[in-house]
Amino acid sequence: EAQVTQNPRYLITVTGKKLTVTCSQNMNHEYMSWYRQDPGLGLRQIYYSMNVEVTDKGDVPEGYKVSRKEKRNFPLILESPSPNQTSLYFCASSLGGRSAETQYFGPGTRLLVL
């Protein structure tokens, strides 16, 4: 089944404790992206990747890092989480090019930073 998976789905952590949220897709998609969703602010893009080893900042990249060492995986790293990073996070992927509009989203990761 074609899908985007995220782990963990729920995470409670404390300020300053490094964490990684994994994202994996099994559709051989070139494009991957991370969004965060907050009440009243909608979905905002954090980082994106057009292909392996090609990443760039989205609208709200501060406090986050990403890497794209292989096509299927696009982990989101919070080196020193803070309470303002408490949010619902979504990973998305698409084939790119003319098929970029059909983006597949993961189930979400709900993060609480205390």
Partner 1 sequence: DAKTTQPTSMDCAEGRAANLPCNHSTISGNEYVYWYRQIHSQGPQYIIHGLKNNETNEMASLIITEDRKSSTLILPHATLRDTAVYYCIVRRSGGSNYKLTFGKGTLLTVNP
CB of 80 to partner 1, least distance (A): 26
Nearer to partner 1, 5 or 16 (CB): 5
CB of 110 to partner 1, least distance (A): 8
Q: Counting contacts by CB under 8 A, is residue 86 touching partner 1?
A: no
Nearer to partner 1, 66 or 92 (CB): 92
Nearer to partner 1, 15 or 28 (CB): 28
SS3 state at 110: strand
Strands (E) in the chain, as ranges, are: 4-7, 10-13, 19-25, 31-38, 42-51, 54-57, 65-66, 76-78, 87-94, 104-105, 109-113
Q: 5-34 burial, b for 16+ CB within 10 Å, e for fewer? A: ebeeeebebeeeeebebebbbeeebbbbbb
Q: Counting contacts by CB under 8 A, is residue 88 touching partner 1?
A: yes
Question: x/- binding map, residues 22-61, to partner 1, per CB under 8 A?
Answer: ---------x-x--------xx-x--x-x-----x-xx--
